[in-house]
Chains A and B, each alone.
Chain A
Amino acid sequence: MLNIRDWSLAKREAAAGYFFILPWIIGFTLLTLGPMLASLYFSFTDYNIVEAPRWIGLNNYTRLFNDELFWQSLAVTLRFAVLALPSGLVLGFVLALLLNQDVPGVKIWRTIFFLPSVLSGVAVTLLWLMLFNPELGVVNKLLEQIGIKGPGWLQDPDWAVPSLAIMALWGVGQNMIVYLAGLQGVPADLYDAAKVDGANRTQQFRYVTIPMMTPVLFYNLVLGLIGTFSYFTQVYVATGGSGGPARSTLFYNLYLYQNAFRYNDMGYASAMAWVLFVIVLTLTLLVFRSSSLWVYYEGELRGRR
């Protein structure tokens, strides 16, 4: 006989605990762990959805290694990361520093810089497609007025990724908010102590603000790098899903999507997904390993995450 009332308090509590997290247990098994293992299995098969998967061992992985487009997609993704992440970090941090000065009308500025970052990806991309149009877009028209012949932006293989990076910079507001919260979380007594020691503004910035902010900056940079591997909506809309011109915007995630849903090459796409997983895992571990180098007040920051 199963009578809950006879159970000890600890047992009853445990049962209640498992009951509450049941949605996650089911979701984790069916929507995360199971599919993960399935995609690992698919990555060793030739699978086009219609026919049953056929085991081909490491073939997909060796194919990846010799696939020029795979390397191209990695290069495009990294190029975007190099162009967009450091500049986004600096711009977001500068904006946060500015707003941290109690400039008059701080709420208005914050709204202006923050708003673009929450707007929809597709609508924003369409807007920038129009702004960046080489012949008719306002950006090149304005450049013409000051005597500069603008590039072909998204239609020029050399400029397409930088154009997307500029679009990303317009959405830097969320970074700004994270940094602003970080700046406001720096304890005032640290500045007071620095002042007592005779530190001037520059020194306070160098020896208090920067060390206190590095964890936040670094965390954001790594998250941003991981995020670049999921970059999709903007490039899909801007290039009609092709990754053009001349595959100059063939981002990792776009190439994965093409393999899976355009060529129905599910096994190959799964192999790409697992390579991505290993990359992300390595990056994440790197952050945790290196944390002793950059985390100053670990306890305090853990509370903020």
Chain B
Amino acid sequence: MASTQTFSNNLRLFVAGDWQHNRLIQERIKKGIAYIICTLMAVIYVFPLYWLLTTALKTDAEVFQLPPTFLPVDPQWQNFQAATEYIPFWLYMGNTLIIAVLTIIGTLVSCTLIAYGFARIKWPGRNVLFIVYLSTIMLPTQVTMIPLYIIYRQMGWIGTFMPLIVPSFFGNALFVFLLRQFLMTIPAELSEAAKIDGASEVGILRHVMLPLLRPALATVALFTFVNVYRDFLGPLIYLSDQNQWTISLGLKLFQNMYGAQWQLMMAASTLAMVPIIVLFFFTQKTFVEGISLTGIKG
């Protein structure tokens, strides 16, 4: 009786051990396969960017050479200089930066105030209004686009940065949502303590909440910058004067250069991507968190 039990115990141990051993091997194989697939995918994903950069450094003749060269024979670094002269590159960068900075200021101020009002103060109708606000995220911009254009036209704002900047001072539903989520996690005792010390709501926001809110505000600023930088339809509609174009809009001047001067087009595209790439490498964590939190897509 006892020996059968030992036997079955041993058998169980043996099977378990083997199972564990197998699992280790399985785990290794699985990781190996994942690694190989990752490498293959990465090659495909990196290739367009690699081709962008190498084309930017080729001569006109080398761009169209057959078979294509995978490394520029004689890197033409002056292509970048030439590209910034082919279109008024720095003017467009400057315009983009002005719009971006003002939009970020507007967004940060308005969204902080609104989020504080929704998160930290109790008032009748708050939850209903917040749902109304959230539902505007789903509203397609086209539904308001035409009347807004007509309003801005009547105000004489077409051909100025105003239509691109001013709306940011009235809040953005997605960012308010993000900031509100963040503010809700701050314990109520903090504000109550400040209130007992005689602080007003504005005082609490400034001295208690703002320092805590900094990482969330950084996320909002980052996404606002990326949105402004990539915006195309807005500048296309509102910036009628070519001297006021943003970089996104300015790049379309290369559209008409089919088959010629690709190296300049790619040099300009590379330069236009640099700010986003630099930001991305320094703030990748913020990007990841922002996207995972809200599912926002640019």
Contacts and interface: CB of A to CB of B under 8 A. Distances in A.
Interface in A103-127: 103-104, 109-124, 126-127
A177 B285 CA distance: 11
B276 to A, nearest CB: 6
Interface in A212-234: 219-220, 223, 226-227, 229-230, 232-233
Contact of B34 (A23, A101, A266): A101
B187 interface: no
A119 B233 contact: no
B276 A305 contact: no
B273 A123 contact: yes
B287 A34 contact: no
Interface stretch (B5-13, B97-105, B210-218, B262-270): B262-270
What DSSP secondary structure best describes chain B's contact surface? Answer: helix
Given A123-B272, A130-B265, A256 B142 contact: yes
Contact of A133 (B46, B143, B150, B259): B259
B62 interface: no
Interface string B56-74: 0000000110111000000
Interface stretch (A11-19, A58-66, A79-87, A289-297): A11-19
B49 interface: yes
Contact of B35 (A17, A30, A104): A104
Contact of A230 (B123, B136, B140, B273): B140
A208 interface: no
Nearest to B271: A123
A273 B145 contact: yes
Given A133-B259, A223-B297, A23 B169 contact: yes
A286 interface: no
A230 to B, nearest CB: 6
B167 A36 contact: no
Given A101-B30, A119-B273, A120-B272, A21 B117 contact: yes
Contact of A49 (B52, B68, B150, B237): B150
Contacts of B288: 110, 114, 177, 181
Interface string A16-28: 1111111110111
A121 B248 contact: yes
A199 interface: no
Central interface residue in A128, A170, A178, A223, by most chain B CB within 10 Å: A178
How many chain A residues sit at the interface, stated as a range, is: 35 or more
A273 B143 CA distance: 5
B147 A136 contact: no
Interface string A150-186: 0000000000000000000010001001101100000
A270 B49 CA distance: 39
Given A112-B42, A127-B269, A177-B287, 15 more contacts: A14-B124, A23-B170, A24-B110, A24-B133, A35-B151, A36-B147, A109-B42, A114-B284, A115-B280, A177-B288, A219-B295, A233-B232, A269-B146, A280-B138, A281-B138
Contacts of A116: 45, 48-49
A85 to B, nearest CB: 13
Interface residues of B, number: 96
Contacts, number: 261
A78 interface: no
B153 A49 contact: yes
A284 interface: yes
Contacts of A272: 142
A114 B51 CA distance: 18
A232 B147 CA distance: 19
B285 to A, nearest CB: 10
Nearest to B138: A284
Contact of B147 (A23, A34, A120, A127): A34
A16 B123 CA distance: 9
Interface string A123-154: 11011101101001010011001000000000
A275 to B, nearest CB: 10
Interface string A219-251: 110010011011011001100100000000000
Contact of A118 (B144, B269, B294, B298): B298
A32 B136 contact: yes
12 contacts: A20-B118, A23-B170, A98-B34, A98-B38, A103-B34, A104-B35, A121-B230, A122-B272, A130-B266, A133-B258, A178-B291, A201-B26
A114 B42 contact: no
A56 B249 CA distance: 36
